[in-house]
């Protein structure tokens, strides 16, 4: 029977502490890098797991390349685009999650990767970092704006952007939200719940909102929107906005009054770096093809791993749970490869990874669990926490809610 992960890692440390064979040679080694591009949920977890596994005296070092100065808790962004006073809670300090990692095991670069070869990663600063293993966790939506993503690497500017959209929503009489996925449904229902006097119109190109999920959640979302008095336009799409006339034009030719437009259309994976290195591995949608081991589907790059929203695999609705599960597989396979073994761990989606909690206004939500065969479970709840359990996310990241403890990261940081 296979050892549990914790037992396996303990055995590695025990073996390391045993005296080496008489014939073995010791000496200084050249530093070998495990480069991780991106430190959202997948990359951050992979970095922590791999760095914790690096044994004393090992030549390996994890190098994280991340442009943001804080972890962006994206799930709360639609809510914080509407509700005032909680903006800072969307930015969790990097560092507390890494407290137990020795300084020699990790280097954190606040910067951007601009080019990848089979052997190295080049940064915008010009620095070239050779790698033994590469983990690409670049996610999706880098070019998107609120409510899906914050278009800033700095917390202070991110907070300013959230306050700006709050004010624009507050001042608008006719709010148009484009996109009937989770972000669009949540922002529209929050805006109408917070400002019931406003006209809120949701435009979605498909026949049903939340179309990637089962019919049960689609019906629940539609019911929540209608209950609040939101007008829903399905099967139509935005063509353009005419700000001077105060309208948006839809493909059908319909004009909708609009003081403020919020675009929540779908996110595109951030795969350009890999597209330059291995074009055949990137799908038409921009996702990167991977093997069950989370290695890229390119036999010439066996030391390159992909995880999170940028990966193309059997996950029907990628989220933080699937990203973390994929990161765990990547970490274990990199550890095996560091020890000279073949990567054998495989990612298989679990039913709980498909769980989603969809807010339908400030005090209501529906939790949906769907397996991969079409079975659905739905639970409606009353919510009281306007900050959507942000404190729990901070604790999960090792941080004290809501204290900006950035000092713990400084021993690892190099800015470029």
pTM of the model: 0.93
Task: Report pLDDT for 201.
Answer: 98
Radius of gyration of the chain (CA): 23
Distance (Å) of CA 264 to CA 183, 186, 191, 239, 384: 6, 10, 14, 14, 25
Task: Report pLDDT for 11.
Answer: 72
Task: Report pLDDT for 25.
Answer: 40
CA 254 – CA 129 distance, rounded (Å): 53
In a domain, 20, yes or no: no
In a domain, 236, yes or no: no
**φ and ψ at residue 255, rounded to 5 degrees:** -105, 135
In a domain, 361, yes or no: no
Number of domains in the chain: 1
In a domain, 96, yes or no: yes
Assigned token pair, 78: 């639609």
* Structural domain range at position 37: 31-145+268-350+392-415
243: which residues sit within 8 A by CB, 6+ positions away? none
In a domain, 48, yes or no: yes
In a domain, 302, yes or no: yes
In a domain, 327, yes or no: yes
In a domain, 15, yes or no: no
Task: Report pLDDT for 179.
Answer: 96
Dihedral sign for Cα 398, 400, 404, 407, please: negative
Contact (CB, 8 A) for 178 and 171: no
User: Which domain CATH number covers 325?
Assistant: 3.50.50.60
pLDDT beneath 70: ranges in the chain? 1-3, 13, 15-29, 371-372, 415-416
CA distance between the termini of the chain: 47
Contact (CB, 8 A) for 348 and 294: no
CA 170 – CA 82 distance, rounded (Å): 8
Task: Report pLDDT for 373.
Answer: 73
Task: Report pLDDT for 18.
Answer: 59
Task: Report pLDDT for 217.
Answer: 96
């Amino acid at each position: 029977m296979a050892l549990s992960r914790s037992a396996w890692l303990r055995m590695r440390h025990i073996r390391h502490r045993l005296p080496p064979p008489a014939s073995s040679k010791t000496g200084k080694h050249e530093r070998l890098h495990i480069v991780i591009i991106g430190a959202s949920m997948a990359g951050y977890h992979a970095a922590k797991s791999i760095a914790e596994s690096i044994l004393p005296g090992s030549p390996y070092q994890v190098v994280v390349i991340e442009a943001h100065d804080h972890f962006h808790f994206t799930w709360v962004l639609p809510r914080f685009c509407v509700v005032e006073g909680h903006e800072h809670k969307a930015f969790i300090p990097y560092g507390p999650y890494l407290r137990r990692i020795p300084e020699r095991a990790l280097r954190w670069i606040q910067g951007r990767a601009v080019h990848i070869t089979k052997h190295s990663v080049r940064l915008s600063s010009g620095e070239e970092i050779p790698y033994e293993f590469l983990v690409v966790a670049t996610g999706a939506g880098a070019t998107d704006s609120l409510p899906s993503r914050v278009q800033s690497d700095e917390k202070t500017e991110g907070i300013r952007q959230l306050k700006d959209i709050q004010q624009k929503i507050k001042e608008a009489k006719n709010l148009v939200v484009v996109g009937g996925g989770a972000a669009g449904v949540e922002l529209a229902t929050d805006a109408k719940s917070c400002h019931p006097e406003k006209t809120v119109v949701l435009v979605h190109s498909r026949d049903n909102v939340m179309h990637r999920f089962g019919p049960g959640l689609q019906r629940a979302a539609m019911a929540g929107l209608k209950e609040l008095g939101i007008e829903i336009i399905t099967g139509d799409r935005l063509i353009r906005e005419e700000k001077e006339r105060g309208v948006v034009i839809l493909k059908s030719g319909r004009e909708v009054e609009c003081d403020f437009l919020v675009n929540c259309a779908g996110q595109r994976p951030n795969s350009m770096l890999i597209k330059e290195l291995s074009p055949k591995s990137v799908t038409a949608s921009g996702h990167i093809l991977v093997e069950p081991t989370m290695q890229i589907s390119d036999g010439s790059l066996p030391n390159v791993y992909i995880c999170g929203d940028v990966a193309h695999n059997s996950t029907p609705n990628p989220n933080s749970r699937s990203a973390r599960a994929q990161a765990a597989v990547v970490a274990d396979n990199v550890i095996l490869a560091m020890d000279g073994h073949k990567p054998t761990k495989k990612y298989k989606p679990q039913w709980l990874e498909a769980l989603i909690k969809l807010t339908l206004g400030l005090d209501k939500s529906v939790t949906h669990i769907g397996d991969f065969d079409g079975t659905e479970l739905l639970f409606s709840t009353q919510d009281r926490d306007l900050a959507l359990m942000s404190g729990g996310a901070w604790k999960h990241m090792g941080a004290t809610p809501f204290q900006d403890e950035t000092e713990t990261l400084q021993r690892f940081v190099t800015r470029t």
